[in-house]
Amino acid sequence: MPVDLESLYPKLIHLMLDTVFVVDGDHQIVLVSDACEALLGYRADELTGTSITDYMHPDDLAITQASILRVMDGQPHLDFRNRYIHKDGGIVHILWSARWSEEDEVRIGVARDVTALMQAEAELRFLAHHDPLTKLPNRSLFHDRLNSGLSAAHRHQNGLALLFVDLNDFKCINDIHGHAVGDGVLCTVARRLEGCVRETDTLARMGGDEFTILLTDIQSAEAVSQKVEQIRMAMVEPLGAEFGGIRMPSCSIGVARYPADGEDADTLLSHADDEMYRMKRLCR
């Protein structure tokens, strides 16, 4: 017995895990498969007859319109990504494959939810440039910011300062109380240092208990000294009760100013590092 393909196609469409949209030239949804409810939270009968643009993220309307024009001009778009608003208000990242059917005067698209993929890609990009424990920029990103800052400082004849912050006797916390507690202290330090810098500055964890701070557009040595004092004051605040009476470690801060202490990244880092160790010896 021959298979009636014409009656089978609608059943196949509604079995697909991806969502099938059929949209006319005025952006009205003519048909949508049942998978739309998992994708956007709406049943097929709620979407049919409405404008597909009503569900698009407003920031993506322009690039989506350009893709629509391309498809309606006869050029299939097989890898287009944009964002839609879910019925619950959340954002859904969608990968589209779409083409224009000239004989039916409709746009046929297959939509796949790639929100989890986009989030995973964003997480990987973040981890490539940030410390996984404190979420601060890592050594690699800091060096990029430092070189960019130096270029800008040279171009605009502005001052720049580099601070090297190291915790004193932090190893004792790890040795006595364990690395989990030590990690908690490092995160506390990171948050306190964040409260001392501007959005235009860069705070990074270089590794272990070492942090660096890039201060951009610094006008005077006094401004640097004030920032160092602000950090010292933030660091002497006691740790919270969750640390069970553990004392907040003091810190040693080395300072290097551009251009007085060097005009390139390596010289400034070396100078700040030397100054930090000099301050650490004074604390003993």
Kindly name the residue from 88, 209, 261, 266 that is annotated as catalytic.
209
Predicted confidence (pLDDT) per residue in 55-81, tens digit: 999 999 999 999 999 999 999 899 999
Predicted confidence (pLDDT) per residue in 245-259, tens digit: 888 888 999 999 999
Predicted confidence (pLDDT) per residue in 8-31, tens digit: 667 778 888 999 999 999 999 999
Q: Is the pLDDT of residue 243 over 80?
A: yes
Phi, psi dihedral angles at 149 (to 5 degrees): -65, -40
Task: Please check whether residue 165 is in contact with residue 211, taking contact to mean a CB–CB distance below 8 angstroms.
Answer: yes
Instruction: Tell me where in the chain the CATH 3.30.450.20 domain(s) lie.
Output: 5-119
Query: What integer pLDDT is reported at residue 182 of this predicted model?
Result: 92
Q: Is the pLDDT of residue 168 over 60?
A: yes
Q: How far from the centroid of its chain's Cα atoms is residue 46's Cα?
A: 35
SS3 string, the chain, reads CCCCHHHHHHHHHHHCCCEEEEEECCCEEEEECCCHHHHHCCCHHHHCCCEHHHHECHHHHHHHHHHHHHHHCCCCEEEEEEEEECCCCCEEEEEEEEEEECCCCEEEEEEEECHHHHHHHHHHHHHHHECCCCCCECHHHHHHHHHHHHHHHHHHCCEEEEEEEEECCHHHHHHHHCHHHHHHHHHHHHHHHHCCCCCCCEEEEEECCEEEEEEEEECCHHHHHHHHHHHHHHHCCCCCHHHCCCCCCCEEEEEEEECCCCCCHHHHHHHHHHHHHHHHHHHC
Decide if 34 is catalytic.
no
Tokens of 180: 């989990």
Query: What integer pLDDT is reported at residue 4 of this predicted model?
Result: 58
Predicted confidence (pLDDT) per residue in 104-122, tens digit: 999 999 999 999 999 999 9
Q: In 3D, which of 269, 272, 270 has the Cα closest to residue 142? A: 269
Query: What integer pLDDT is reported at residue 188 of this predicted model?
Result: 95
Cα 137 from Cα 214, distance rounded (Å): 11
pLDDT band for position 169 (cuts 50, 70, 90): confident
pLDDT band for position 284 (cuts 50, 70, 90): low
Architecture of the domain made up of 5-119 = 2-Layer Sandwich (3.30)
The CATH number of 130-283, from 3.40.640.10, 1.10.10.10, 3.20.20.70, 3.30.70.270, is: 3.30.70.270
Question: In whole numbers, what is the pLDDT of the chain averaged over residues?
Answer: 92
pLDDT band for position 1 (cuts 50, 70, 90): low
Q: What is the pTM of this model?
A: 0.78
Q: Is the pLDDT of residue 3 over 60?
A: no
pLDDT band for position 6 (cuts 50, 70, 90): low
Instruction: Tell me where in the chain the CATH 3.30.70.270 domain(s) lie.
Output: 130-283
